[in-house]
Amino acid sequence: MEEINIRTLVRLYPNLMELPKDIRELFEAAAEARAKAYAPYSNFQVGAALRLASGKIITGSNQENASFPSGLCAERTAVFYAGAQYPTENIIAMAITVKSLNQTVDTPISPCGACRQSLLEYEVKQGQNIPIYFRGETGKIAQVSAVQELLPFAFSGKLL
Ligand code: THU
């Protein structure tokens, strides 16, 4: 019997001022996107912003639906748009922020499992890690250096 111990390194920044300028900009874009969320059912608004190699910023917000599973998370809205519009450009970083209309969220909120799987696809496709930064509405910012850090032992298309 063998054991595999999987570890994830998460870096915590106390506030936005501790981040590099380009990541602070991404958080500004993510907060603007968050304000455009359509989340009448959960009251949980999510904004995501990613930067392409060209420097261009692409954003997305969660878009809910009366038929709940038909809605889409902010991260996938953003990454699918990037994949559809700029299929040859690498994604170099992503920032995610949330706001609940029911309570103050002051802890980092990480992407859901489906978003991790979707984001991983683009990381594998481009052969370059995508650092992910995530926070609540306020408080500390968490960072992982790659999507695969959030989704160890992932299913990939290698055998397909
Ligand atoms: N949501 C996201 O946009 N991203 C995530 O990673 C988790 C959840 C959205 C989906 C739904 O509109 C609301 O947050 C509550 O689940």
CATH class of the domain at 20-159: alpha beta
Percent of the chain scored above 90 by pLDDT?
98
The confidence score (pLDDT) of residue 42 equals: 98
Q: Is 115 in the pocket of ligand 1 (CB under 6 A)?
A: yes
In this structure, what DSSP letter does residue 13 have?
Answer: E
Task: Compute the distance from residue 4 Cα to the ligand 1 centre, in Å.
Answer: 31
CA 89, 91, 97, 101: dihedral to nearest 10 degrees?
40
Quick one: CA dihedral 53, 58, 61, 62, positive or negative?
negative
d(CA 42, CA 8): 29
Q: CB under 8 Å to 103, separation ≥6 — which residues?
A: none
The confidence score (pLDDT) of residue 156 equals: 83
The pTM for the full model equals: 0.97
Judge whether residue 157 has pLDDT over 90. no
Q: What is the mean pLDDT of residues 121-131?
A: 97
| Maximum CA extent, the chain | 51
Over the stretch 32-74, which tens digit does the pLDDT of each residue have? 999 999 999 999 999 999 999 999 999 999 999 999 999 999 9
Polymer length in residues for the chain: 160
